[in-house]
Amino acid sequence: MSPLQLEKEVGDATAKVGQGNAFKQKWIAREGDGLVKAVNSIKDVTQLDLQEIESTGDLKSGEKLLADLRKRKLVVQRKGQWFTVQKGANFTTSTAKPETDLTADMLTSGAWKTSTFKKYNFEAEGIPPAGGALHPLLKVREEIRNIFLEMGFAEMPTSTYVESAFWCFDALFVPQQHPARDLQDTFYISDPVKSLPPEPAYYKRVATVHEHGDYGSAGYRAPWSHEESSKLLLRTHTTASSAHMLYKLAARYRGEAVEGDEKEFTHGAKSTTAHGESSSNDGFRPAKLFSIDRVFRNETMDATHLAEFHQVEGVVADKGLTLADLIGFMRVFFKKMGIENVRFKPAYNPYTEPSLEIFAFHPMLSKWVEVGNSGMFRPEMLEPMGFPKDVRVHGWGLSLERPTMIRYGINNIRTLLGHKVSIEGIENSAAVMF
């Protein structure tokens, strides 16, 4: 018989295994193209083993051979369970079940005194309550808001997603040719077309300090474009709203009478003054303001960037504030957020001088990571608003998403903000306590 014939007779797989084994046992030999018998009778051990397994469910020869047979897919191992039942101490022929729970009926009838109760499985989970849930990002927002409120900050109105380039950039002394103002980075508005002009005298002071310099500054000495200034855009930072609030704060210095003015900031109490000096009564009232709201960047979206996110911003305005005050204050603020170890790096920001990036030591990553930005607003921004030289304003900002992602161990921002967020994830997000 030729190997080819054999293959046809018993099939490809069987022929392969059988032929190999038969050669190994020297049952057959090769003669020319064909296979011939080498012994007269054979003892098929495998067959005998299989018969033994079938009848006893085991093999005396041992685990090694069994493993071999399993490998050849001749046997499979199945687990079975057997129980042996015997009468126990509580054996009864009555069919009454033990009680699972205490009921109002049992209390009325007194049956609870005689009933037997089923053993409770304390390993089992309780029934999840069918409650609602707040969004994790907003839970962190609440926690940060509370820090501000505890420290005496008032929340600024920030309901102006649409801003003019004037308030978003020019008023902050951001040069008109600054890269942040590029189409690549900022969403501009096509409808409505442009903003109404701001108060003309203030507008002129801002344009002058940019184009020609003023208040002891050389200015950018670059051409000023009114068209650029009146463009509408989606705010790139809430500092646009802060600038508007500071402008309002300086109203008295500009000689404007503000209705209900005496009640602002202090709820009608007399203004407090810096460093315990007596009030010179020039109308200045210190202010501590904050906001946490949405900002927009024309970003290409990826795991760490979205076109919209939340900015946390704080502002302190008072006479005689110092850089040491800012640094000391930042340490307290971040400590309240659970960040103990911070240090400060000089940085560049068009509207603050000095500008400081805040780095915190991340114990898990075991390196310093940037957690926020801060600085003292430039005189070129404050003095056109009308503030006198000795009023200084601290500002700082951080994103709300970053601490939230760290808090919840989230790597992809799209699973935190937007419609792709899992509702189940929201339902299961833990409480936040800094």
Return d(Cα 151, Cα 172) in angstroms, integer: 26
Applying CB under 8 A, which of residues 137, 174, 250, 337 lies at the interface with other proteins? 137
Q: Look at the block and give the residue holding tokens 């701001």.
A: 198
Instruction: Identify whether the C-beta of residue 56 lies closer than 8 Å to the C-beta of residue 36.
Output: no
Instruction: Give the binding-site size for other proteins (rule: CB under 8 A).
Output: 125
The two structure tokens encoding residue 395: 């500002």
Q: Which one of 17-25, 59-67, 105-113, 413-421 is the stretch in contact with other proteins (CB under 8 A)?
A: 413-421
**Least distance to other proteins from the beta carbon of 320, Å?**
7
Task: Confirm or reject binding of residue 251 to other proteins (CB under 8 A).
Answer: no
Phi, psi of 242 (to 5 degrees): -60, -40
Instruction: Identify whether the C-beta of residue 382 lies closer than 8 Å to the C-beta of residue 319.
Output: no
Task: Confirm or reject binding of residue 22 to other proteins (CB under 8 A).
Answer: no
The two structure tokens encoding residue 78: 């199945």
Applying CB under 8 A, which of residues 110, 126, 128, 216 lies at the interface with other proteins? 216
Task: Confirm or reject binding of residue 196 to other proteins (CB under 8 A).
Answer: yes
Task: Confirm or reject binding of residue 210 to other proteins (CB under 8 A).
Answer: no
183: left (phi over 0), alpha (psi -120 to 50) or beta: alpha
Task: Confirm or reject binding of residue 272 to other proteins (CB under 8 A).
Answer: yes
Task: Confirm or reject binding of residue 130 to other proteins (CB under 8 A).
Answer: yes
Q: Which one of 22-30, 75-83, 106-114, 419-427 is the stretch in contact with other proteins (CB under 8 A)?
A: 419-427
Kindly tell me which of 28 and 153 has the beta carbon lying closer to other proteins: 153
Task: Confirm or reject binding of residue 149 to other proteins (CB under 8 A).
Answer: yes
Task: Confirm or reject binding of residue 329 to other proteins (CB under 8 A).
Answer: yes
Task: Confirm or reject binding of residue 324 to other proteins (CB under 8 A).
Answer: yes
Kindly tell me which of 35 and 240 has the beta carbon lying closer to other proteins: 240
Q: Which one of 40-48, 61-69, 112-120, 135-143 is the stretch in contact with other proteins (CB under 8 A)?
A: 135-143
Task: Confirm or reject binding of residue 255 to other proteins (CB under 8 A).
Answer: no
Kindly tell me which of 6 and 413 has the beta carbon lying closer to other proteins: 413
Task: Confirm or reject binding of residue 192 to other proteins (CB under 8 A).
Answer: yes
Q: Which one of 9-17, 105-113, 404-412, 424-432 is the stretch in contact with other proteins (CB under 8 A)?
A: 424-432
Applying CB under 8 A, which of residues 28, 312, 339, 356 lies at the interface with other proteins? 356
How far from chain centre, in Å, is Cα 212? 44
Task: Confirm or reject binding of residue 283 to other proteins (CB under 8 A).
Answer: no
Restricting to residues 43-72, name those near other proteins by CB under 8 A: none
Return d(Cα 170, Cα 198) in angstroms, integer: 11
391-399 vs 308-319, strand pairing mode: antiparallel
Return d(Cα 297, Cα 183) in angstroms, integer: 10
What are the angstrom distances between the C-alpha of 80 and each of 60, 66, 76, 433? 20, 18, 13, 51
Cis status, amide bond into 384, omega within 30 of 0: no
Applying CB under 8 A, which of residues 144, 171, 207, 376 lies at the interface with other proteins? 376
Judged on CB neighbours under 10 Å (0-12, 13-18, 19+), 184 is: exposed
Q: What size, in residues, is the chain?
A: 434
